[in-house]
Amino acid sequence: MSEFIQETEMAQEALLEASMVERPEKNQPLGPMFWICVGWLALNIIGAIFANVLPVQNPLNQDYNFINSGPSLHHIFGTDDLGRDIFARIVYGSRVSIAVGAGSMLIGFGIGAPLGMLAAYRRGRFDTFVTTVMYVFLAFPAIIAVIAVLSFWTPRSMFKIIVVIGFASVPLVYRVIRTATLAIATKDYVIAAKVQGATDRRILMKELLPNIAPIGISFLLIGVATVVTLEGALAFLGLSVNPPTPSWGNMINESRTILAENPWLVLFPSLALCLFLLCLNFIGDRVRSHFDVTEVKL
Amino acid sequence: MNPDKLLVVKDLATTFNTSAGPLPAVGGVSFDLNKNETLGIVGESGSGKTVLARTIMGLQPRTNVAVTGSVLLNGHEMVGVSEAEKRKYWGTEVAMVFQDPMTSLNPVMRIGKQIDETLRVRLGMSKDAAKARAIELLELVGIPSPTQRYGAFPGQLSGGMRQRVVIATALACSPKLLMADEPTTGLDVTIQAQILNLLEDLKEQFHMSVVLITHDLGVVATRTSRIVVMYAGRVVEIGTTREVFTNHRMPYTRALLESSPKVSNPSHTRLVTIPGRPPNLLKLSLGCSFAPRCAYATNQCHQQRPELQSAEEPGHSFACWNPLPSKREAATR
Amino acid sequence: MLKYVIRRLVMLIGIIFVISVGSFYLIHLLPGDPAAVILGTGDSPSNRAKLYKLLGLNKSIFDQYFIWIRNVVRGNLGISFISQTSVASTIRAALPIDLEIMGLSQIVAFAVAIPLAMRSARKPDGLVDRLLGATSFTLLSIPPFIIIVLLVLFISIKMGVPNIGVASYVSFGTDWIVNLESLALPAFTLAIGSFVVYYRVLRSDMIATLQEEFITMARSKGISQRRIMWRHAFRPSSVALLGAAGVNIGGLLAGGFVVQYLLAIPGLGYTLIAAINDSDYLLVQGIVLVVSVGVVLINFFFDFVINIVDPRISRE
């Protein structure tokens, strides 16, 4: 048979092939929802950074005229049982969530990602050794370790929280990045680059990194979401930042004792936290599906 | 309705609704099939032959597909009817043998069970009766030690064996029509002949008609009575095998025949190729789809799509404004 | 197959060994002197020295470890300094609660997730699918502790349903109705998180499976859609589901304790937190060991089941 006949238009072939099978999922464009979420996150971040200069009340200020009050002109979201403005505490509280989320992921990825990529690429003794160590750590329930360490390492500070969670996340980041790199490093085009004499550094930068980036970013965002949730859980155990520093977790925890009297103290921080997490998850998910080139356009 | 005609296809067209626009994978195909006949459908990759086969059977995807025209299977209409309607005939009147036996068998289900299933669900056989019949079928398709193999997983069999299992499954309910979509393309050359011979034998035994879809002209040359040549989703020539091979009129058919390497050629003979590439179905021109690559194309060819017209011998038609001269005419002069 | 099982068993033992070392040293790495806690007001250097000798804390770390391990293997996890009760019995009392909560939550999660996922996979991007997708995504973003707090707010406080709220636990033997009521909230909360994971994983995997050629072939045999979904598509897809279940359930054992703590349900999680707060390091050690081993065993079990469902894995 003519060699030529094999050589059909790739796109048409793929399209035809794909069209014989039901593929209802389209390759996701980022979409307006994506940008809305980005906007909301940006708003939170700006609020956290510039809280001092924004027209927001002092979160520690106790206004005795308004104890456990609902939303009003003076206090948009109401006040807690010490008369502190909930809205202000939410804005300042975002600092904790964002700092903890970003900080720990920075540590986790800063250590875990390069190690993972290197191990997957080099293989050999380095890989075997590091991976075994990491997998041993992974077998250990990290949350318990975090709780134990934070309970005993007093006095608590945000710095310590970030460090503990950060290091606890290294094995997981390592595993995810290493798995992703392995999948790509064995692909033909990387081997081709190697054969052509590209230096390791070049391969890492030009071939591996761009392909790992989407998974990495997606996982990073989901990681931040997980850590922020973790901070909330820790607050419930009394292991987050010390009062009176506001954090979303703290506020929800404090609200438990006065649930009946002041539902606002639980509702607004919960809303803030959930929206934040929703946006993070959404962006992470969209990034992943947007760059997933295995999904075919139909 | 002519009772001898097992299959009557009229103006069948399949269009996919893609994100890049409508894709007319099959456009206006008509032909019919008699009982106990083997019809070959030939074309390159992308010519629409697989889509055609699936559409005839009614197996096209359920979403984003539009099918027009008519397919009469033993008098039953298959186009525009519900899935439940079509399902009545699947397996019992028409069955399909797929190209790649590795992907067409369920990898986590034992092969015996995959054959049993048809017998029990469609024919209402009991478990034991179905198992017995399944083993019979395995023997029929030439699988050694069928009783032992009954419990094997597809992954434990060789490619040729798997394809035999697929055939056994297809034949389980004794359909009258077997659609074989490139049944040997994925197999070793040595196995190909075995499988094709097997299909021929079974066709006789079961009194079936077979539609053999392939890009390999060598396969259709000796095993089919009639051939349909497809290009860019349309039928460009149809006739008896002999007629198509020896007296083809459409230049594409000639190009196809010439480009297949012949063992009898001296070594290092250059392969003949067709210049250009198959058209992008998303942007079909108004004229003949083959015109850009055709050595004989005229202005009319580029501007107007040719319809099928009859040649001398009854049953032979081709679609071309500037056909090759008929050998019959030359012979009678 | 046998080779595979043996190989995994060896790995299992190795991991458990490492975990035991880990749990032992973790506690000892932490600041805080158990003797000081126990002696309380009677603390003095000489008293401490006496207590050390009594408790065997004056031996080297290695000796302490081996003594401990030897006892563990015999089922003796030690006597807690703080509560003066055997660690093993404390754990034995608390563990069934965790298991019950987990069991209930998983039954609910699977029972809801599987049919819904199949429905969505059959008609992807349909109305039901999109609705479920948005709902599950939203639920994903609501942490369990918030769900619990909100549910307690509405059900227990606003609606006044009894036996749902804090500290309402009663064992199954005593009063099984109240028992189920008291565990309904934590089980339901955990079920939500599990449901979301299972739904998404199964849906995504089934959509991929339904595109395989063997599904078209099954169709061509005249098999009904329902049969294809359950008999052909579900089995290969269940591999991914089981994998997710293994990871999820392992996580539940370790992480479900926030929920317990909030509702003062005396499961392992609650006991662990209390133990940490009391610096009851022997109890902490015991719980950490039990939980870690539990997680590893769960993973091992699921690996095994996956292998039965899809034999291709052990053949590789």
pLDDT tens-digit series, residues C216-252: 899 999 888 888 888 888 888 888 888 888 878 877 8
Q: How confident is the model at residue A19 (pLDDT cuts 50, 70, 90)?
A: very low
Q: How confident is the model at residue C169 (pLDDT cuts 50, 70, 90)?
A: low
Give alpha helix (H) positions in chain B.
49-57, 83-87, 101-104, 111-123, 127-140, 146-149, 159-171, 189-206, 217-223, 241-246, 251-259, 299-303, 327-332
Angle at A296 between CA A295 and CA A298, to 5 degrees: 135
Helices vs strands, H then E, count in chain C: 15, 0
**Taking 70 as the threshold, does the pLDDT of residue C196 lie above it?**
yes
User: What pLDDT, in 10s, does the model give residues C119-149?
Assistant: 898 888 888 899 998 898 889 888 888 888 8
Q: Is B54 on the interface with A (CB under 8 A)?
A: yes
Percent of residues, chain B, with pLDDT higher than 90: 21
CA distance C305 to C86: 35
Among B66-80, C65-79, C115-129, the range scoring the smallest mean pLDDT is C65-79
Per-residue DSSP letter, B214:
E
**Taking 90 as the threshold, does the pLDDT of residue B307 lie above it?**
no
Chain A, nearest residue to B59 by Cα: A20
CB A253 within 8 A of CB C166: no
Task: Output the pTM of the full model.
Answer: 0.79
Q: Is A65 on the interface with B (CB under 8 A)?
A: no
Q: Which of B41-50, B205-214, C247-256 has the largest mean confidence?
A: B205-214
User: What pLDDT, in 10s, does the model give residues B235-282?
Assistant: 989 999 888 888 888 888 888 888 777 777 777 777 777 777 778 888
C188: amino acid identity, one letter = F
Cβ distance A263 to C288 less than 8 Å, yes or no, reads: no
Q: Is A15 on the interface with B (CB under 8 A)?
A: yes
Closest to B143 in 3D by CA, of B211, C148, B152:
B152
pLDDT at B326: 80
Cβ distance A298 to B44 less than 8 Å, yes or no, reads: no
CA distance B234 to chain C (A): 24
Q: How confident is the model at residue C41 (pLDDT cuts 50, 70, 90)?
A: low
Instruction: Write down which chains contact chain A via at least 3 CB pairs under 8 A.
Output: B, C
Q: Which residues on adjacent β-strands are paired with residue B228? A: B41, B238
Nearest-CB residue to B121 (from C212, C227, C315): C227
CA distance A175 to A109: 11
CA distance C12 to chain A (A): 11
Nearest-CB residue to A144 (from C124, C140, C288): C288
Using a CB-CB distance cutoff of 8 angstroms, which residues of chain B are in contact with residue C312? Answer: 107-108, 155
- Burial degree of B267 (CB within 10 A; 0-12, 13-18, 19+): exposed
Chain A, nearest residue to B43 by Cα: A5
Cβ distance A12 to B281 less than 8 Å, yes or no, reads: yes
CA distance B144 to B140: 10
- Give me the mean pLDDT over the B223-228 stretch: 91
**Taking 60 as the threshold, does the pLDDT of residue B166 lie above it?**
yes
Cβ distance B61 to A19 less than 8 Å, yes or no, reads: yes
CA distance A8 to chain C (A): 23
pLDDT at A7: 29
Nearest-CB residue to C15 (from A139, A147, A256): A139
- Give me the mean pLDDT over the A124-142 stretch: 81
pLDDT at A179: 83
Among A147-156, A196-205, C162-171, the range scoring the smallest mean pLDDT is C162-171
- 3-state secondary structure at position B212: strand
pLDDT at C301: 83
Tokens at C241, concatenated: 């589901």
Closest to A121 in 3D by CA, of A184, A175, A169:
A184
**Taking 90 as the threshold, does the pLDDT of residue C110 lie above it?**
yes
Say how many CA atoms lie within 13 Å of C306 toward its Cβ: 21
Tokens at A246, concatenated: 């506001």
User: What pLDDT, in 10s, does the model give residues A157-182?
Assistant: 888 889 999 999 999 899 888 888 87
pLDDT at C291: 83
Chain A, nearest residue to B279 by Cα: A9
Cβ distance A1 to B281 less than 8 Å, yes or no, reads: no
CA distance C65 to C20: 9
Among A36-40, B177-181, B299-303, C196-200, the range scoring the smallest mean pLDDT is B299-303
pLDDT at C162: 67
Cβ distance C284 to A148 less than 8 Å, yes or no, reads: yes
Task: Provide the mean pLDDT of chain A.
Answer: 78
Cβ distance C222 to B59 less than 8 Å, yes or no, reads: no
pLDDT at C114: 93
Q: How confident is the model at residue C37 (pLDDT cuts 50, 70, 90)?
A: low
B212 phi and psi angles, rounded to 5 deg: -105, 115
Percent of residues, chain A, with pLDDT higher than 90: 12
Tokens at A70, concatenated: 């609902």
CA distance C233 to A93: 47
- 3-state secondary structure at position A130: helix
- Give me the mean pLDDT over the A81-100 stretch: 85
Q: How confident is the model at residue A276 (pLDDT cuts 50, 70, 90)?
A: very high
Percent of residues, chain C, with pLDDT higher than 90: 9
Q: Is A10 on the interface with C (CB under 8 A)?
A: no
Residues 6+ apart with CB under 8 A from A18: A296, A297, A298
CA distance A142 to chain C (A): 9
Q: How confident is the model at residue A23 (pLDDT cuts 50, 70, 90)?
A: very low
Q: Is A225 on the interface with C (CB under 8 A)?
A: yes
Percent of residues, chain C, with pLDDT higher than 70: 78
Angle at B307 between CA B305 and CA B312, to 5 degrees: 140
Q: How confident is the model at residue B1 (pLDDT cuts 50, 70, 90)?
A: low
Q: Is A133 on the interface with C (CB under 8 A)?
A: no
pLDDT at A1: 27
CB A82 within 8 A of CB A67: yes
Nearest-CB residue to A148 (from C26, C149, C262): C26
Using DSSP bridges, classify how beta strands B234-240 and B94-97 pair: parallel, antiparallel or unpaired.
unpaired
CA distance A249 to chain C (A): 9
Domains of chain A (ranges, CATH numbers)? 96-291 (1.10.3720.10)
Q: Which of A247-261, B42-56, C299-313 has the largest mean confidence?
A: B42-56
A9 phi and psi angles, rounded to 5 deg: -60, 120
Chain B, nearest residue to A14 by Cα: B46
**Taking 60 as the threshold, does the pLDDT of residue A22 lie above it?**
no
Cβ distance B273 to A24 less than 8 Å, yes or no, reads: no
Task: Provide the mean pLDDT of chain C.
Answer: 78
CA distance B100 to B181: 9
**Taking 60 as the threshold, does the pLDDT of residue A247 lie above it?**
yes
Cβ distance A141 to C254 less than 8 Å, yes or no, reads: yes
pLDDT at A21: 42
- Give me the mean pLDDT over the A262-289 stretch: 86
Q: Which of B19-33, B158-172, B185-199, C83-97 has the largest mean confidence?
A: B158-172
Using a CB-CB distance cutoff of 8 angstroms, which residues of chain C are in contact with residue B169? Answer: 217, 221
Chain A, nearest residue to C143 by Cα: A229
